């Protein structure tokens, strides 16, 4: 009965979560099943109790050594009864204070690990996105977090933007700006992406074939917004104000084209350089013009 109560209290104190360092040095977080939780509680509880028993025995031995060898003899009438019993190692009364002190040490160690760990204190002060970087131990999740942290797509300045290419299990391909994902809450179920291009992966050659050029449409929207501003006599806006207005306007417009993808359907993902891809297409075109199509020979 006492052991059951102790286990219930232990579970309440430690919770159902488990933290440990991964082989990459990151802090990993996972929820424990009931069987794993019980095994952890029993194992660590037994370890703490053994350590507590040893330290309690050590204290009692030092106390006995001070009295019997060094001749340290305090007024026994002034000492509490439990302290006298502690010195009587052969007495059955020793069991009670040993268990109490061992249990106290055990819970103290657990509470110290739970609430006073520097790593856990650091996690509590982090934003959800920062905390996710420390806790995730999955390469796809790390890639999504990196994409979320990167520069957002800005139609006025595309040089600093590196889109993400996502290949689905249907071979459908989206290339664009990751604007939202529940990966920051350590559970990747959906990914929201504003596509710049979309297409498919050839079944035989696995070559990327782009069919929809959303970026061209975004450029048309951008030019239309500039024309609208000029038509309404807003050309007197300061350059900084104009840039800020266009940036906010385009971000609002682009969210209308956002696509929500279930993470379970993602087959692969990687960053994609639009400029490098355009250079590749240009070089391939020049090669075909010079040597002709390989299939025509």
User: Under a CB-based contact definition with an 8 Å cutoff, are residues 183 and 135 in contact?
Assistant: no
Global confidence as pTM: 0.55
pLDDT score recorded for residue 92:
45
pLDDT score recorded for residue 172:
95
pLDDT score recorded for residue 291:
78
How far, CA to CA in Å, does 144 sit from each of 128, 139, 178, 263, 269? Answer: 14, 9, 8, 10, 9
pLDDT score recorded for residue 126:
62
pLDDT score recorded for residue 73:
55
pLDDT score recorded for residue 169:
92
User: Tell me, what DSSP letter sits at residue 32?
Assistant: P
pLDDT score recorded for residue 132:
62
- CA 285, 288, 290 angle in degrees (round to 5)? 110
Neighbouring CB atoms inside 10 A of 44's CB total 16
pLDDT score recorded for residue 144:
83
How far, CA to CA in Å, does 267 sit from each of 172, 173, 197? Answer: 10, 10, 18
pLDDT score recorded for residue 260:
93
Local mean pLDDT, 10-residue blocks, the chain (297 residues): 51 48 45 57 66 72 67 56 54 52 61 55 61 69 81 70 91 91 74 92 88 89 81 63 73 87 91 87 84 59
pLDDT score recorded for residue 61:
74
Q: 106-133 burial, b if ≥16 CB within 10 A, otherwise e?
A: bbeebeeeeeeeeeeeebeeeeeeebbb
- Which among 148, 154, 163 is positioned nearest to 276, based on CA atoms? 163
């Amino acid at each position: 009965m006492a052991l059951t109560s102790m286990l219930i209290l232990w579970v309440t104190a430690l919770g159902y979560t488990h933290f440990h360092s991964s082989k990459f040095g990151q802090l990993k977080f996972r929820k424990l099943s009931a069987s794993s939780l019980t095994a952890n509680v029993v194992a660590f509880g037994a370890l703490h109790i053994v350590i507590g028993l040893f330290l309690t025995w050590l204290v009692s031995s030092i106390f006995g050594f001070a009295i019997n060898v060094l001749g340290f003899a305090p007024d026994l009438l002034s000492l509490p009864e439990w302290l006298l019993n502690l010195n009587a190692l052969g007495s059955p009364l020793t069991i009670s204070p040993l268990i109490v002190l061992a249990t106290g040490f055990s819970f103290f160690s657990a509470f110290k690990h739970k609430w006073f760990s520097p790593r856990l204190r650091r996690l509590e002060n982090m934003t959800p996105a920062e905390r996710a970087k420390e806790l995730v131990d999955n390469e796809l999740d790390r890639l999504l977090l990196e994409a979320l942290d990167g520069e957002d797509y800005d139609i006025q300045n595309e040089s600093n933007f590196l889109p993400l290419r996502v290949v689905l299990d249907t071979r459908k391909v989206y290339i664009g700006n990751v604007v939202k994902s529940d990966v920051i809450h350590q559970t990747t179920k959906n990914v929201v992406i504003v596509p710049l291009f979309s297409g498919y992966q050839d079944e035989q050659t696995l070559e990327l074939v782009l069919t929809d050029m959303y970026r061209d449409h975004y450029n048309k929207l951008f030019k239309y917004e500039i024309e609208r501003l000029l038509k309404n006599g807003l050309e007197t806006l300061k350059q900084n104000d104009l840039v800020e207005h266009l940036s906010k306007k385009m971000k609002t417009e682009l969210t209308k084209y956002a696509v929500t993808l279930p993470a379970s359907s993602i087959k692969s993902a990687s960053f994609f350089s639009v400029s490098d891809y355009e250079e590749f297409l240009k070089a391939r075109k020049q090669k075909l013009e010079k040597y002709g199509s390989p299939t025509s020979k």
